[in-house]
Structures are given as C-alpha cells and as structure tokens.
Amino acid sequence: MKRANLLAQPICETIFSARQGVYPLPTKKLALHGRVDYFTRMSGADWAIRLTAFVAFVGYIGALTKWPGRRKSGIWPIARSLWSLGFVAFLAHLLCAFHFEHEWSHAKALAATSRQTAEVTGTGTGMGLYFNYTFTLVWLGDCVWWRLAKRSHEKRPVWLGGIIHGFMAFMWFNATVIFGAPLGQALGWAALAGLAAWHLLRRRRNKLLKT
C-alpha cells in the first residue's frame, strides 16, 4: 500500500486521514488507500505522527474556547498555555512527518503534495506544502509575540487578529473537512459547529451583562 503523505495538503492526512490501521471505512471510500483495519498494523511512527496532530488540533480548539472577548484575569493565561501547547504539538508532528515520511527531503514532500492534491482536486500543485510552512511560521510568530509582549499581543488591532485566526481556521478546515477522511470530516464539522455555538452564546451573555 502506498503510504499517505502527512504534508500533502494544509495539515492534512494526519490523524484524520484514511490510512491503514486507524478505523474501518466502506470499501468504496478506500479505493485509493486499500483495506483499513481498526487499530491494526500501526507502527510507532504512525502513532507519533497521528497523536501529535491530534494534540495540536485539541490545543488549537481549546485555546479558542478560552479566548475571551473581554479582558479577564485568569482566562488569558489558560488560552495562552493551550495555544503554546498546540503549537509545540504541531511542530512535533511536522518533525515526525518529515523524518518518517519524507526523509527530511523538501523535494519528496513537494512531489507527494502535488500527487495527493491531484487525487483530491484534480489539479497537481505543491502549494499546499508552502501553505503549511506559512502556517507554521504564523503560529510560531504569534506564540512568541504573546510570550514576549503580552500586552501588545492582547491589544493588537482587531483586523490583524482576524487575519491570523482566519488563515489558521482555513488551514484546519482544509485539513479536516476538505481533505480529511470521514473521521476527520466529522471532527472538523463538530469543532466548527461547537465554536460557532460557543461564540453565539458568548455574545448573547455579553449583551445581557451590558443591560
């Protein structure tokens, strides 16, 4: 069976992918992947790649749920810790993917990206890999900014925060809903629905507090 590339699309084909040994899927869905048996034939490398991706996703979602609309002591530190945890886990995932999947070769990662993107979209392009690099730098920069200049970070312009969060949400959405297998799609939609509901409830609560 051809091994899936963990960096083919933005943060995709990780714990959310239909790689062999993670979860059963209908035969028709596995035409390009082969049979998948539940938690069988999983190597230590597979677990390292998948679990770090999962922790990164959980850290990202958890940080957003603790990201208050108004400054409250005791909440920002929690969000910052989860944000940093998510990035560290994602960086570990990135290193594991390059070590176990691509043998530290950018050319191999780029070729695999183009091939897998063509399988999903019909167009072979390696841009997803560069988006992944950009995602890593954006998250790293935001973590460093928050750690070294807390007040500046928390008082940054709304439009700047919107661009950063919009880009990161776009990347995670692609990783789970667009390029993910059924499990990844379910997790992506569940996270999206949960965050939307949380945001609406928070806005409603803030309005009630102002009245």
Quote the DSSP letter at residue 69.
S
CA distance 100 to 92: 12
- Residues 18 and 25: their CA atoms lie apart, in Å, by 8
Helices assigned H by DSSP within the chain: 44-65, 76-100, 106-121, 127-148, 150-154, 158-173, 182-210
**Any idea how long the chain is?**
211
| pLDDT value at residue 69 | 60
Q: How many CB atoms lie within 10 A of CB 144?
A: 13
In this model, does residue 90 exceed pLDDT 80?
yes
Cβ pair 131, 6 in contact under 8 A? no
Tokens representing residue 139 in the block: 């998250």
> In this structure, what DSSP letter does residue 8 have?
S
- Which has the closest alpha carbon to 13: 162, 124, 147, 115? 115
Q: Which residue has the higher pLDDT, 209 or 137?
A: 137
pLDDT over 60 (residue 56): yes
Question: 5 falls in which pLDDT band (50, 70, 90)?
Answer: very low
Q: Specify the pTM.
A: 0.76
In angstroms, the CA 104 to CA 42 distance is 22
pLDDT tens-place string over residues 117-142:
898 889 999 999 999 999 999 999 99
pLDDT computed for residue 73 by the predictor: 56
Q: How far apart are CA 8 and CA 126, in angstroms?
A: 8
Residue 46 or residue 78, greater confidence: 78
Neighbours of 188 (CB within 10 A): 21
